[in-house]
Copies of this chain bind each other. A is one copy, B any other.
Amino acid sequence: MRSPTAPPTVRDVAARAGVSPGTVSKALNGTGQLRAATRDRVTAAAEELGFRPNHLAKSLLQGRTYTVGILTTDSFGRFTTPVMVGIEDALGAGRMSTLLCDGRGDPLRERHYVQELLNRRVDGLVVTGRRPDPRPSLGRLPIPVVYVLVQSEDPEDLSLSYDDVQGAALGTEHLVGAGRKRIAYVSGPERHWSTQRRREGVEQALVAADLSLAPELVLMGPWSEAWGRSAATQLLRRDPDVDGVVCGSDQIARGVVDGLREAGADVPGRVAVVGFDNWDVMVEAARPPLTTVDPNLTALGQLAATRLMDAIDGKELPRGVQLQPCDLVLRQSSV
């Protein structure tokens, strides 16, 4: 016999309303033809019993769960969090829930989670993570998959990210437009994808303006403020005429600004500085506040979720890498 603490079922509601389970279903879902009085009686009974329709049973029957999995390759961090906020935002509006899995950079663990999500019959999957360079595909799965921030090696997969090259070019064009001629690039480790892509952007923009990126004004190091400070003094030593710096991150930019100011080089009077990330904490605390490139991570998450929902609804998923443009946010470090 049913335990008295077990949640009420359609049958309990049916009994209380004096109808059949089928009728309860129709009444509560607004399907079929029901007399208003019956409908009300059922609704009342459900209310009184605190009836909560079992989503599992529905899913089992309908073959879809209204759930998508989010798999992070590395843990959640500063870059994945805004993306997840965007995903949650877009999915929540479509009444879908998200099952969260943290791969922690372990491919084995990752594979295990994919299996688990498939067992749970999620309708789709978003793969995200910090490292933007191409990573192995999860392979062909029976459900649509969107990679966001991370990039799949398989061109058949849809990978969504922001455009590093365009972003860095945007920041550079801004400096050039303000009349700067001797522009430096200070960024993260040389081997990093972002460092390289952003460098390309800087070079492209300079070339387009009949300028060039002097090799001695390209400085790469760790992604830290300390490195930015150190790079600033190096820059002034290498070329006292440097008048603009495009940075690979806001942390570095903040360090650069501090380093310049403390070396007596006015920002933006003598040197204008542009950051990358639009990370509120860095950007606002810097003196002066940083002009920076905004990769629009939350919008990216929303886009990923939207594409995924389209695919779940039967629309074909685009293929390949799609890069969204970055925006420039003006603050005092460049004007």
Contacts and interface: CB of A to CB of B under 8 A. Distances in A.
A254 B55 CA distance: 49
A112 to B, nearest CB: 9
A226 B98 CA distance: 38
B102 A100 contact: no
Interface stretch (A56-64, A154-162, A200-208, A266-274): A56-64
Contact of A56 (B60, B88, B98): B60
A120 B226 CA distance: 48
A257 B224 CA distance: 18
A241 interface: no
A120 B97 CA distance: 10
A52 B53 CA distance: 26
A85 B75 contact: yes
A99 B55 CA distance: 14
A121 B6 CA distance: 11
Interface residues on A, range: 35 or more
A101 interface: yes
A56 B59 contact: yes
A136 interface: no
Contacts of A5: 142
A92 interface: yes
A37 interface: no
Contact of A99 (B57, B97, B119, B225): B97
A179 to B, nearest CB: 30
Interface in A51-104: 52-57, 59-60, 63, 65, 67, 70, 75-77, 81, 84-85, 88-89, 92, 97-102
A56 B122 CA distance: 10
B285 A224 contact: yes
B121 A56 contact: yes
B52 A56 contact: no
A16 to B, nearest CB: 18
Given A7-B121, A67-B99, 4 more contacts: A76-B76, A76-B81, A88-B100, A97-B101
Top 7 A-B pairs, shortest CB-CB distance: A225-B285, A55-B119, A55-B120, A88-B102, A100-B100, A56-B60, A98-B100
